[in-house]
Amino acid sequence: MTDAQLPTAVHPLRAHSPAISASRARRWGSFFYAEQALRVMRGYGWSVFLYSVGQPVAYLFAMGIGLASLVDANSAAVFGGVSYLAFIAPALLVSSAVMTASGDFSYPIMDGFKWRRVFYGPHASPLVPQQIAAGHIMASALKFLVQSVVYFVIVAMFGASPSPWGWVSAVVATIAGLSFGLPLMAYASTITKDAGQFALVQRFIVVPLFLFSGTFFPLDSLPIGVRWIGWISPVWHGTELGRVFTYGLEESPVLTLIHVLFLVGAAATGWTLTRRQFVRRMGA
């Protein structure tokens, strides 16, 4: 018997069975969709990078150095004894994540359901609507984190984060982005007709939150009548929590806990409502 020399087996291209596709999708589907979202973002890689570097540098120069030279000379005590730059750096970090979130969780959701209907492509695959929502969220969260880390590094280079725990503020900013963004995503996924809702959100929610959340001055210095804006604002809770980490803002541990619970609670509620709305809108 001779061992015939078989030609090297050329493996014909074969997809794995549908059963394997389905079980992998059930387990990893959210990550598969996150991969798509990240690939799309890669197309904008440069603008994301420039935004996350350019914006902090511009703000830190203008506010932290220009404005700070006046503020520090006159009223340093108001800002907890730290430089004005150190005071506003965590606020800018959080605001930046929240503003990115206001973009990522509004128009792209309309696009997915209505304009270019991009959610319906994966919906015809083994993925389920909850996974499409989760994948979108995970990819954006990763983007916030990368952006916040870059932002934090620049803040640190400006010497505006004296505490060794300062880096935690990048994580806080990411969570703040989600705690604002996920309720917005839940709302965006209910919209069937674009009537300029997102422009209103931008003008009447995002901008006031940015201005009245203890960003540029302590919330206490506002009249009591508008302080509530800060209390319900992910920007305020995120900023104060960030300050605890970057320069050791002294506040009651209960208040610190409230910041954490508020941020996580808002994000979790938003996520739950989003999942429900995605399933309702797309069917099982």
Partner 1 sequence: MNPPAVITAENLTKTYGELTAVDGISFEVSAGESFGLLGPNGAGKSTTMKMIGGVSQRTSGKLSIMGLDPETHGPEVRAHLGVVPQQDNLDEELKVRENLIVYGRYFGLPLSYLRPKADELLEFAQLSDKAKSRVDALSGGMKRRLTIARSLINEPKILLLDEPTTGLDPQARHILWDRLFRLKEQGVTLILTTHYMDEAEQLCDRLIVVDKGRIMAEGSPASLIREYCTREVLELRFGSERNTTIGVELEGVGERVETLPDRVLIYADDGESALEQVSARRLRPLTSLVRRSSLEDVFLRLTGRSLVD
CB of 34 to partner 1, least distance (A): 10
**Least distance in Å: CB of 279 to partner 1?**
11
Nearest approach, Cβ of residue 20 and partner 1 (Å):
7
Q: Which is nearer to partner 1, 125 or 202 (CB)?
A: 125
Q: Which is nearer to partner 1, 110 or 241 (CB)?
A: 110
CA distance linking residue 21 with residue 39, whole number of Å: 21
Quick one: 39 or 203, whose CB is closer to partner 1?
39
Nearest distance from C-beta of residue 105 to partner 1, angstroms? 17
Using CB under 8 A, list all residues that contact partner 1.
13-16, 18-26, 28-29, 32-33, 35-36, 39-40, 43, 116-118, 120-128, 282-284
The closest alpha carbon to 172, from 35, 72, 264, belongs to 264
Q: How far is the CB of 187 from partner 1 (least distance, A)?
A: 23
Nearest approach, Cβ of residue 115 and partner 1 (Å): 10
Give the residue with the Cβ less far from partner 1, 27 or 203.
27
Rounded to an integer, what distance in angstroms lies between the CA atom of residue 159 and that of residue 147? 19
Pick 33 or 105: Cβ nearer partner 1: 33
Please identify, using beta-carbon distances, which residue of 36 and 190 lies nearer to partner 1.
36
Least distance between partner 1 and beta carbon 116 (Å)? 6
Nearer to partner 1, 133 or 241 (CB): 133
Contact by Cβ (8 Å): 208, 59: no
Q: State residue 29 phi and psi, 5-degree precision.
A: -50, -40
Distance of alpha carbon 206 from alpha carbon 95, whole angstroms: 9
